[in-house]
Amino acid sequence: MTVLTTDFEQPTMDDYPTRKSTEPALLYRKDPVVWGGDEGPIDQGTLHGFEENGYLQDEELITPAELEKYREELRRLSLDEELKRDERVVVERKSDEVRSVFEVHTISEVFADLVRDPRVVGRARQILGSDVYVHQSRVNYKPGFTGTDFYWHSDFETWHAEDGMPRMRAVSISIALTDNYPHNGALMIMPGSHRTFVSCVGETPEDHYRASLKSQEIGTPDQNSLSILAEKHGIDVLTGPAGGAIMFDSNCMHGSNGNITPFPRSNIFIVFNSVENTCTEPFAASSPRPGFLGSRDFTPVK
């Protein structure tokens, strides 16, 4: 006997399918960019720019004295020999130098305080319109002379596919600990690209994150889609002094060129996600990445 019913489990529709087809595709964003907006440290003009371009810049988010404190903490972490054996620390094999420290807000009390700072978390709450938690945090050390490029990508594509982040309701903040020039591998964003989701081809292999920390292949946008977006939106090079900050939407198409100049680049990088957008099962991977790359602890920052 067949019973007709509408009371069945509706299969979840994925608004942002990726790594499932052999053809890339450009899809419309189906989420707001600014979810809150009324209350917080960001003025309305800047917030409007964020909505349009997918990013905002603040020339002086932290004071020179704070800058010195964070640089000192960066040095301390890079010299901690015990930390070098930690899975959350990326060390360059050739030089044994620290390149990134992940989950830095749980490793360092100094950076934990920064995450809780109203200038930082307040901005994230304002954009995302809710309480927020830290999806990922890290400090990056990019050397001069040999700094390598970071190819174009949307963070959301990875977070959706590999971490199970359902919607575009996360924001990244990058606080510069060194000056960003046009010539030392500054962040490049295609302004406005956050309104388009580039569906990527290929299937996520097991433990993909180990390879993708070095260079991304699966989850990489195709050249044709990138050409279309670059023609339409152009490319902004986000320069600015140490102590300044960039906030950008989870779906911005961004990357950075290499850096042959003698000037290194360091920054603190924090990804806030809305507590109303906590991660589920990955949308295109067999299991989620480790917690230091995509947190499964959704405790709001207070």
- Name the site residues for its own copies (rule: CB under 8 A): 144-145, 149, 151-152, 181-183, 185, 188, 223, 226-227, 230-231, 235, 237, 255-263
> Please, which residue, 233 or 289, has the CB nearer to its own copies?
233
Q: How far is the CB of 228 from its own copies (least distance, A)?
A: 9
> Please, which residue, 184 or 251, has the CB nearer to its own copies?
184
Measure the CA–CA gap between 38 and 44, rounded to whole angstroms.
8
Q: How far is the CB of 249 from its own copies (least distance, A)?
A: 20
Q: What are the start-end ranges of the E strands in the chain?
A: 25-28, 55-58, 89-92, 97-102, 132-142, 150-153, 170-176, 187-189, 196-199, 236-237, 245-249, 254-256, 265-274
> Please, which residue, 178 or 259, has the CB nearer to its own copies?
259
Sequence-separated (6 or more) residues with CB below 8 Å from residue 280: 164, 166
> Please, which residue, 27 or 260, has the CB nearer to its own copies?
260
- List 211's β-bridge partners, or say none: none
Distance of CA 69 to the CA centre of its chain: 24
Q: How far is the CB of 148 from its own copies (least distance, A)?
A: 8
Measure the CA–CA gap between 170 and 172, rounded to whole angstroms.
7
Q: How far is the CB of 244 from its own copies (least distance, A)?
A: 18
Q: How far is the CB of 283 from its own copies (least distance, A)?
A: 26
Contact indicator for 225, 192 with CB cutoff of 8 Å: no
Structure tokens given for 280: 């589920």
> Please, which residue, 58 or 236, has the CB nearer to its own copies?
236
